[in-house]
Each structure stands twice: as structure tokens, then as C-alpha cells.
Amino acid sequence: VRLFDPKLNAAFFRAFSRLASPREARGLASSTWYVLSALVVLLFFPTPYALAGILTLAWADPAANVIGQRWGRVKFLAGTVKGSATFLAVAFLALIIFVPWPQAIAAGVLTTIVEAAPIELDDNFLVPFSVAISLYLMMG
């Protein structure tokens, strides 16, 4: 609704300035993509793969963001090497709960690349979907 009313959009960003990023001013909020992604993976993939994707997003994305913004200097795709390395390490920790380590590494690497890629679609949608589909293709 806020996207159709400039005054409401401005009020939203005043009220939630600490939670919303400037890139969300012209599009859906990242939280909307997060919920949509969770619904899609829970509806279309086996529950363990869906939960692995959701947990990867919940743990790895914020960790990579903090490390990448604070210490990342060397670029990697649309992110930084340190941010992406952090994403991969934390993704592995989330994924190893659900699948054997070789699949956790493979899904982690693929999802790290997807997360860092300069893709227009929000990574809050792409990360759980990437994890769920990669695990499904590897493990059935």
C-alpha cells in the first residue's frame, strides 16, 4: 500500500528508518521477500530443505552483511570477499544441521554465489530458494 501513496511511503521510512534500507523506497521491503520466500519453499520443497534455506538466510545473510560492511574491501561480484566468505561459513553451519557435509558445502557454495551475484531480485527471496532447490536436485 505504501508504494502507491508517496505520503504513506515517506511516513513508513520516518517510522522505520532503522529497519528499512533506502533501496526499499521504490519496491517491496526485504521482510516481504523473506516471508514470500519462506512460503514458497515450504509449499514446494521437502520441509528439511525449506527449513535449511530459511535458516541459512536467517544466519548467513546478516553475518555476511556485518562482516562485509565493516571489513570487506575486496569486491566479489556485488559483495565483498570477506562478506561472501562469512556467508559461506555460516551457511555451512546452518546446512550441516539438515544434510551431510558434502551437500552442505555444495549448497553453501552455490547459494553464496547467488547471494553475491548482481541480480535484481531480492536475496531474501533468492537465498532460501537457492538452498532448497540445490538440496532437492542433489538429494531428491
> Are 90 and 59 spatial neighbours (Cβ–Cβ below 8 Å)?
yes
**30 band by pLDDT with thresholds 50, 70 and 90:** confident
> Are 25 and 13 spatial neighbours (Cβ–Cβ below 8 Å)?
yes
Cα 95 from Cα 93, distance rounded (Å): 6
User: Percentages helix, strand, coil for the chain, rounded to the nearest 5?
Assistant: 75, 5, 20
The more confidently predicted of residues 70 and 19 is 70
3-state SS, residue 27: coil
Residue range 88-126, pLDDT digits in tens: 999 999 999 999 999 999 999 999 999 999 988 888 999
Kindly give, in sequence order, each residue whose CB lies less than 8 Å from that of residue 48, ignoring residues fewer than 6 positions away: 98, 99, 135
Does pLDDT of 4 surpass 70? no
Residue range 48-95, pLDDT digits in tens: 999 999 999 999 999 999 999 899 899 998 889 999 999 999 999 999
pLDDT value at position 57? 96
pLDDT value at position 121? 84
Average the pLDDT over 2-26 and give the result: 67
With vertex at residue 134, the alpha carbon angle to CA 58 and CA 98, rounded to the nearest 5 degrees, is 55
Nearest to 123 by CA among 34, 18, 59, 23: 34
H or E stretch covering 79 = strand 79-80
pLDDT value at position 72? 87
pLDDT value at position 22? 62
